[in-house]
């Protein structure tokens, strides 16, 4: 089955004409590889990623080389700075993916993509960190944005696809207010036992630190809803744990989106309300910033998403390089409760290696393979795998 899936994937990858998007003939299998990759292609200065890509970015070449090596049919790139003219996305496709990279593979072309504004760096006009000032400069300015960022579009998202995207049916939830989520709790300051956010601010706060997107993709096996996001890290706050609570509720939004029943509060930025149709196939992807067992954050949030009835039960993607790194930290006293081979990123001596990146298919698919692109240190591919502190996660699916 895996051989057949790879053959079909290579056949489809060799073409980009509409004929490749027809339904498979009887007896054939519709196969696709879906991935998520936090690329770290961001900068604290607006427009700086564009300037880097206009030059010769070693960082971007490594990211492109990994993508050329793995060759996903559908992929989410997290932490890819957004600009209104889509100049960074153009440059990355033309000058990096479109050229064979050292250590990578053949040039890789994605005829379709989706990107849109995100909340990071967008001024709220409110004192969200309660330091007595609004905006100012540096980190204080970022803390008062709708999502932490030093300029609008920092840490953005980019979807690349070999299959057509139905942009007329894309749903975005950039503006959805946190307080509308059933059960949402205004963080409490444990020293005063009062709500961290005054009511007037709490009612305006946006839930998504970047955005949540439902991107319908017309694959050879039918429409697949690519549900992508990048919740805030559950750190960089105070004892009120406002980022930890927000991270958990950003993850919980997908659970609510998948759960049958009326959801009149769940309205997208275009004013359409309700969750995902009960018969829709989907893949959830992104850097969700929450490990099921280790690190900071409310672990039950990701565990409950993994155990949602509509999410496929599957073997966890793994890598030899991740296992090697996690065991090295354990030898220094930083042990994991979770399986070392399941980690997706290396976050330094304080946090160690964690599983933060996910590709979660719905039931209705067959899983034919999965992995994390994280080779061992003595492997030749290690030379391109260090472009980000995260590593690409992929799954192979058939319909």
CA–CA distance, 356 with 215 (Å, rounded to integer): 21
The CATH number of 2-6+29-118+153-398, from 3.60.10.10, 1.10.40.30, 3.40.50.720, 3.40.50.2300, is 3.60.10.10
Rounded distance, CA 223 to CA 279, Å?
A: 11
Per-domain boundaries in the chain: 2-6+29-118+153-398
Closest CA to 146 of 186, 178, 189: 178
Give the number of other Cβ atoms within 10 Å of residue 60's Cβ.
24
What's the pLDDT score for residue 273?
97
pLDDT of residue 399: 81
When computed from its CA atoms, the radius of gyration of the chain, rounded to whole angstroms, is 20
pLDDT at 29: 60
Task: Give the pLDDT of residue 136.
Answer: 86
Three-state SS string over 328-356 comes to: HHHHCCCCCCCCHHHCCEECHHHHCEECC
Asked if 162 and 12 touch (Cβ cutoff 8 Å), the reply is: yes
Determine contact, residues 367/32, Cβ cutoff 8 Å: no
> How far apart are alpha carbons 170 and 223 in whole angstroms?
12
Query: How high is the pLDDT of residue 28?
Result: 52
Pairing relationship of beta strands 74-80 and 31-41 according to DSSP bridges? parallel
Sign of CA dihedral 16, 22, 26, 30: positive
Residue-level pLDDT, tens digit, the chain, 399 residues: 333 333 333 333 333 222 223 344 544 568 999 999 999 999 999 999 999 999 999 999 999 999 999 999 999 999 999 999 999 999 999 999 999 999 998 999 999 999 999 999 999 999 999 999 998 888 999 999 999 999 999 999 999 999 999 999 999 999 999 999 999 989 999 999 999 999 999 999 999 999 999 999 999 999 999 999 999 999 999 999 999 999 999 999 999 999 998 999 999 999 999 999 999 999 999 999 999 999 999 999 999 999 999 999 999 999 999 999 999 999 999 999 999 999 999 999 999 999 999 999 999 999 999 999 999 999 999 999 999 999 999 999 998
């Amino acid at each position: 089955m895996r051989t057949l899936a790879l053959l079909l994937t290579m056949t489809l990858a060799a073409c980009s004409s509409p004929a490749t998007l027809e339904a498979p003939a009887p007896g054939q299998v519709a196969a696709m590889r879906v991935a998520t990759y936090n690329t770290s292609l961001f900068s604290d200065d607006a427009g700086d990623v564009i300037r880097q890509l206009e030059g010769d970015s070693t960082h971007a070449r490594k990211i492109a080389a990994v993508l050329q090596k793995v060759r996903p049919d559908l992929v989410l790139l997290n932490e890819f700075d957004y600009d209104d003219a889509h100049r960074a996305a153009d440059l990355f496709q033309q000058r990096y993916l479109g050229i064979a990279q050292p250590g990578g593979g053949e040039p890789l072309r994605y005829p379709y993509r989706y990107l849109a504004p995100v909340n990071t760096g967008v001024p709220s006009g409110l004192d969200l960190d309660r330091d007595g000032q609004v905006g100012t400069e540096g980190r204080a300015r970022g803390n008062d944005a709708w999502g932490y960022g030093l300029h609008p579009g920092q840490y953005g998202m980019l979807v690349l696809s070999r299959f057509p995207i139905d942009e007329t049916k894309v749903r975005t939830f950039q503006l959805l207010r946190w307080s509308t989520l059933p059960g949402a709790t205004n963080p409490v300051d444990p020293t005063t036992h009062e709500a961290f956010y005054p009511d007037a601010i709490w009612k305006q706060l946006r839930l998504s630190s970047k955005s949540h997107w439902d991107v319908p993709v017309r694959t050879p096996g039918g429409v697949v809803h690519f549900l992508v996001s990048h919740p805030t890290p559950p750190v960089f706050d105070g004892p009120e744990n406002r980022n930890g609570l927000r991270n958990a509720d950003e993850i919980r939004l997908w659970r609510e989106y998948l759960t049958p029943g009326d959801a009149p509060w769940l309205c997208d930025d275009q004013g359409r309300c309700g969750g995902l149709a009960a018969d829709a196939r989907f893949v959830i992807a992104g850097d969700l910033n929450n490990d099921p067992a280790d690190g900071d954050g409310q672990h039950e949030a990701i565990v409950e998403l993994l155990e949602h009835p509509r999410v496929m039960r599957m073997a966890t993607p793994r890598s030899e390089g991740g296992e090697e790194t996690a065991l090295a930290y354990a030898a220094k006293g930083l042990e994991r409760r979770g399986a070392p081979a399941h980690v997706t990123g290396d976050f330094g001596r304080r946090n160690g290696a964690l599983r933060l990146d996910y590709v979660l298919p719905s039931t209705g698919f067959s899983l034919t393979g999965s992995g994390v692109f994280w080779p061992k240190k003595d492997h030749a591919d290690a030379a391109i795998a260090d472009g980000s502190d995260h590593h690409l996660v992929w799954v192979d699916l058939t319909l």
